[in-house]
Amino acid sequence: MNATVYFRGSLSSCNYDCPYCPFSKTKDSSATLAADRQQVRTFVDWASRQGAEGHRLEIFFNPYGEGLVHRWYREAMVELSHMEHIDKVAIQTNLSVKLDWTSELEPSRAAFWATYHPGQTGEEAFVRQCLTLYRRGVPFSVGSVGVKSAFDALASMRRTLPVDVYMWVNAFKDKRDYYSDADLDFLRGIDPHFGLNAADYDSRGRECRTGYDVFYVQGAGTVKRCYKDRSVIGHLYRDGLDGLSKARACRMNDCDCYIGYIHMPELGLERVYGNRKLERIASSNA
């Protein structure tokens, strides 16, 4: 099986303090961090054995918080990137940590989903981090939440980044009718595909690859079809990918988040992202 596996451990804290984000409001205990470290180690060990089972994997770490401030996430990225049956290992990160360790990555199998947080870091510092990845040939996208207070910062970031670095914008959906027509034009100037994220997709009963060859793994191995669907479909270490895989229609009324709707076949988003859906890099000819 060619499978995509999202992994989220017990980590629930971040080194940033974004007002719209709940993960900046918690501080993990030493016990929670120890549990997260062991969960990541167990997952990497499981992933290392999947080639012998005939599986190829794409892996995405999307913790509730910032993973790369912890050594075990950095080590996991490096280790997984050197496994022949791992086509890709990516992580969602604010790029706040030193990146000297990225020289140990196999760049053809690693990628970063880098989120820019104006007000938490300066543009110069963030761009310097991006250019480290750029020079090392490690693929990455850059994006931010499209709150109006960040518009000037987003425009400046777009001007400063290399033109071939894709920059995405997540629509702010906490308020209805938040954007004017002028706002939408501005955001499409930053991210030509902003309209894809601004939409909510009717999904109940629709085909989705989640639960079939896309799996959301939590903590000690609990597997959900989708990060928004609370129902558990099995256990990674007990059932394995073949035991978990089943075509499952969506049970939610709508899908409004990139890591969900990207797996709805009817949207045909391979035409936009090609084989870079996981790290959210749009094709240059899309």
The listed CATH number (1.10.3470, 3.30.450, 2.40.10, 3.20.20) that belongs to domain 2-276: 3.20.20
Contacts of 59 (CB under 8 A, 6+ apart): 4, 5, 6, 7, 47, 80, 86, 88, 89, 90
Q: How far apart are CA 190 and CA 234, in angstroms?
A: 40
Residue 21 binned pLDDT confidence (cut-offs 50, 70, 90): low
Tell me how far apart the alpha carbons of residues 86 and 5 are, in angstroms, rounded to a whole number: 11
SS3 145: strand
The secondary structure of 197-245 as a DSSP string is: HH--EE-TT---SBTTTEEEEETTTEEESSSS---EEEEHHHHHHHHH-
Q: What pLDDT, on the 0 to 100 scale, is given for residue 27? A: 78
Residue 77: pLDDT over 80: yes
Query: For residue range 86-129, what is the model confidence (pLDDT) as tens digits?
Result: 999 999 999 999 999 999 999 999 999 999 988 778 899 999 99
Backbone phi and psi for residue 278, each to the nearest 5 degrees, phi listed first: -60, -45
pLDDT above 90 (res 162): yes
Closest CA to 203 of 223, 225, 184, 218: 225
Domain boundaries defined on the chain: 2-276
Determine which helix (DSSP H) or strand (DSSP E) holds 41, and give its type and residue range.
helix 30-48
Give the rounded percent of residues in the chain with a pLDDT score beyond 70: 94
With 70 as the cut, is the pLDDT of residue 199 above it? yes
CA distance linking residue 229 with residue 176, whole number of Å: 23
pLDDT band, residue 65 (cuts 50/70/90): confident
Supply angle C-alpha 78, 82, 86, rounded to 5. 105
Name the one residue in this structure whose structure tokens are 């993990």. 28
Asked if the model's pLDDT at residue 23 lies above 60, the reply is no
Q: Quick: pLDDT tens for 243-283.
A: 999 999 999 999 999 999 999 999 999 999 999 999 999 98
% of the chain surpassing 90 pLDDT: 86
Lowest mean pLDDT among 17-26, 42-51, 128-137, 151-160: 17-26
The mean pLDDT of 230-254, rounded to a whole number, is 96
Q: Express each pLDDT in 207-223 by its tens digit.
A: 999 999 999 999 999 99
pTM, entire model: 0.94
Q: What is the mean pLDDT of the chain?
A: 93
Rounded-to-integer distance, Cα 108 and Cα 88, Å: 8
> Which of 103, 54, 50, 49 lies closest to 77 in space, CA to CA?
103
